[in-house]
Amino acid sequence: MTPRTPSPVPPEKLARRARIFTIFTAPVFAAMAFALVIFGLGNPTLLYAGLTLAALTVLLVIAAFVRSRAVRWTAFVVALVGAAVTVVSGFMTIPNDSGVAMTLLMGILPILALALFVLHNVARAAHPARA
């Protein structure tokens, strides 16, 4: 018996799935951004990371419903600038102990990278290129 390969998902169905995924994913990222901002009131590193994550969450919702290549590039720039500001802030606010800053950044930077990854893939799935 020959193995059956699944048929490819039609672009319309993939776009609908991406939008549904966004509806459930955006509140999770928003909650993480809110938590980082609240905890970041005493620590600028967490504050900058929370603001960056909040901006990426807004861009995630926009990317799912608006077809624009500029949204993905804007998200990429926001993530890079936010990560750079967070890293600089991490090392400037805790100058005597770089280990604490590195540990903090090892938790924050993957969250920002995950948000950018999800945003990029949702944007591509929600608006497939027409041939």
Q: Tell me, what's the pLDDT at 90?
A: 83
Question: pTM here?
Answer: 0.85
- Alpha helix ranges (H) inside the chain: 11-39, 44-65, 69-93, 98-126
Q: What's phi and psi for 48, nearest 5 deg?
A: -65, -40
Give the pLDDT confidence of 63-122 residue by residue, as tens digits.
888 888 888 889 999 999 999 998 888 888 766 666 777 888 888 999 999 999 999 889
- Between CA 23 and CA 110 the distance in angstroms is 22
Alpha-carbon distances, residue 116 vs 32, 51, 73 (angstroms):
14, 14, 10
- Between CA 111 and CA 120 the distance in angstroms is 14
Question: Within 13 A of 96's CA, how many CA atoms are on the CB side?
Answer: 0
Question: Structure tokens of 9?
Answer: 């998902």
Q: What is the CA radius of gyration of the chain?
A: 18
